[in-house]
Structure 1
Amino acid sequence: MEILDSVVIGAGQAGLSTSYHLARRGIEHVVLDGDDGPGGAWQHRWDALTMHDVHGVADLPGARVPDRAGAERANRFVPSYFAAYEARFELPVVRPVRVARVDDAEGLLRVASADGRSWTTRTLVNATGTWTRPFVPHVPGIAAFAGEQLHTVDYPGPEHFRGRRVVVVGGGASAVQFIGALAPIADTVWVTRRAPVWNDRDFTPEVGREVVAKVEERVRLGLPPRSVVSVTGLQLREQEREAERLGAYADPRPMFTTIEPEGVRWADRFERADVILWATGFRPAVEHLAPLHLRGPLGGIRLDGTTAVADPRVQLVGYGPSASTIGANRAGRTAALAVRDRLRRAAPAGLTRSATGAR
């Protein structure tokens, strides 16, 4: 039975960054990716999303993001960048592999795929992100709605909504961006559970460090991670100014109490709707880690850096404060160093020479 030094699950920004740093340190590993091709979650985003629209993609370690035309589709540009990166650094990506579960195997970890394959490893880096776990809250009557319901993962681009009445649900950046694109061509109603908090501060490095520290604190305590926007507040970009002029952000409604076939209802109001667009976020895709019992009593996975406190063989990247392209890069290096240190401590038990001699 081959025993790997590490297995990385996921080949998005965090997974590729981790693999790069593991490879530099001579740590034998594979990267298991659930998609058919490179690109992580970016390959699944809607065609209308251009590089001009996104907040930015951080450089992967050792290779800058190519110069880009603002009109280029993000779901083509970023996968092309990731594919070139995998090839340039000969990263050991295996795909498609849909990981079903990770079990403790007499001191080692056994990673099992949905199609019956398995890998045995001394350490694990989980980099599965959130895209595969969209969250939609349960609202009474949700199944009775006669119109169309879509989540961010299903968003087909603004033209799909032209001339229709759209209830946009959510208080984060995606909801703001959807309203910005839809308000000039459709009738929109904004619904959010919490009143939006607007912020016009420049996102300086100091602000970035403050934000990361606040998100890190939740994860360190074992609380479920929250989005970066929950700390930074919301900002309007130039492409959302027309929607602002139309008043689309002026009067967000609180969460409705029920859904009916023709729309949504509050105690004092009814709004007809053709579409409910759920911009209600995602949850971490960590259900395959359940056999390791990493979750604490507060509902989250408690981390020390990227290391799972409940099982130091496991690193989590793209989780909590590292759920951004910049944060994912930093977490990838941190996780690789933690893997190296873990392997060195385990060396008397028969560790491979490559990892014990790693830098």
Structure 2
Amino acid sequence: MDVTDVVVIGAGQAGLSASYFLQRRGVDHVVLDANSGAGGAWLHRWPSLRMRTVHGIHELPGMPFEQPSPESRANEAIPSYFARYEQLFDLPVVRPVNVTSVVDDGALLKVETSGGVWAARGLINATGTWRRPFWPYYPGQETFAGRQLHTADYSGPADFVGQRVVVVGGGASATQLLMEIAPVAAATRWVTRTEPVWREGPFSEDYGRWVVGMVEERVRAGLIPRSVVSVTGLALNDETRAAREAGVLERWPMFSSVTPAGVLWGSGERFDADVILWATGFRHDLEHLAPLHLRGAGGGIQVDGTRVVSDPRIHLVGYGPSASTVGANRAGRAAVRELVGYLGLVRAG
């Protein structure tokens, strides 16, 4: 069993930020990452996602992010930046390692993984959401004769040529994929639970901080966090404005059931479909923390800043208010400052 002061789980934006600040304070730590290479969730973005449609990218601490070409693939450009960052600061990332459980072992936390066992005085969890796609259920869903897939399975518009497609979801991924699919599909229909809210203007750092503050209230109360995207609304730019005018982004309310041939509304309206694409988001990847019994009556984990209220040895970054590139950096710094002070590893400052 390897023993270290702090284990960081996940090497996305939040995990790398935490590692950077731990290293600056001289804290012995390791970063365990399930991916085979650098990039975090960006490695798994669909191949057709280009940098020109990516919103709110914020550089990691200590290293500028030089904007690549607008037509660069996001799942290549950002992982490349992360890889250079890990190398520049010689961060102690170990991969691929899948964390299966974290157990309270008295004075230490025992982190059990596919690559062995680590024991640590403190834990920074930065696992994000990408491995937990959320599939809602609607009556008759299992009877659908066509194809159903989630955003996590999307590889590009070529899979939808000549097909009738229902896109379900009110987030940015739903609109981006719909705008890619519509030109090649026979017909599309966009369905959301609530009326979309459109926002004009740039996603500035100040605006990002305001959004983070809006999400923070729920996690302080131990409730399941809202996504940051649910607060920001949808970006109204030249591309989305044109798609709305063309009828591509005409929103329909949520259907009441799924039939073998498509979807059905309570009014009797139906839409025959070959494919249902569930752009319904993700849930936080926290199953490995289940042995610690951190969830409360509200369904979420009560967090003050990044600190788990019931166990101050554990910090969650990339959770709730820090689930954004701006929030992840701030959370990494804050988690390290508070954790090392609590554990007495170094002088907190």
TM-score, structure 2 as length reference: 0.95
Matches within 5 A, 1:16-27: 16-27=16-27
SS in 1 for 2:51: coil
RMSD between aligned alpha carbons? 1.6
* TM alignment of 1:1-359, pairs within 5 A: 2-113=2-113, 115=114, 117-186=116-185, 187-200=187-200, 203-250=203-250, 252-267=251-266, 268-344=268-344, 355-356=345-346
Q: Provide the C-alpha distance between the structure 2 equivalents of 1:48 and 1:313, rounded to a whole number of angstroms.
A: 40
Query: For residue 142 of structure 2, what is the amino acid of its counterpart?
Result: A
CA distance in 2, matches of 1:138, 1:112: 33
User: What SS class does the counterpart of residue 62 from structure 2 fall into?
Assistant: coil
The more displaced of 317-326 and 141-150 is 141-150
Return structure 1 stretches of 4+ with deviation > 6 angstroms. none
Deviation at residue 141 of structure 1 after TM alignment: 2.0
Q: Distance in 1 between matches of 2:130 and 2:204?
A: 27
Note the C-alpha offset of 1:157. Answer: 1.4
The whole-number CA distance in structure 1 between the counterparts of 2:205 and 2:37 is 34
Return closer, same or farther for 1:241/1:201 CA change in 2, 3 Å cut-off: closer
Partner of 1:352: none
Which SS does the other structure have where 2:43 is aligned?
helix
Contact kept? 2:263, 2:272, Cα under 8 Å: yes
Measure, in 2, the Cα distance between the counterparts of 1:66 and 1:253: 39
Unaligned runs of 5+ in 1: 345-354
> How many residues matched?
347
Q: Which amino acid aligns with 2:116?
A: R
Contact residue 166 and residue 274 of structure 1 kept, 8 A: yes
Cα distance in 2 for partners of 1:141, 1:102 equals 38
Opposite residue 72 of structure 1, the aligned amino acid is: S
Q: Percent identity?
A: 58
Q: What is the rounded CA distance, in whole Å, between the counterparts of 2:241 and 2:161 in structure 1? A: 18
Unmatched segments (≥5 aa) in structure 2: none
Provide the TM-score with structure 1 as the length reference: 0.92
Aligned residues of 1:15 and 1:31 also touching (Cα < 8 A): yes
Please tell me whether the aligned partners of residues 6 and 339 of structure 1 are also in contact (alpha carbons under 8 angstroms). no
Contact 1:179 1:243 in 2 (8 A): no
Aligned-partner Cα distance in 1 for 2:190–2:153: 18
Once the two structures are superposed, residues 284-308 of structure 1 have per-residue CA deviations (whole angstroms, 9 ceiling, x without a partner) of: 0011111111111111111111000
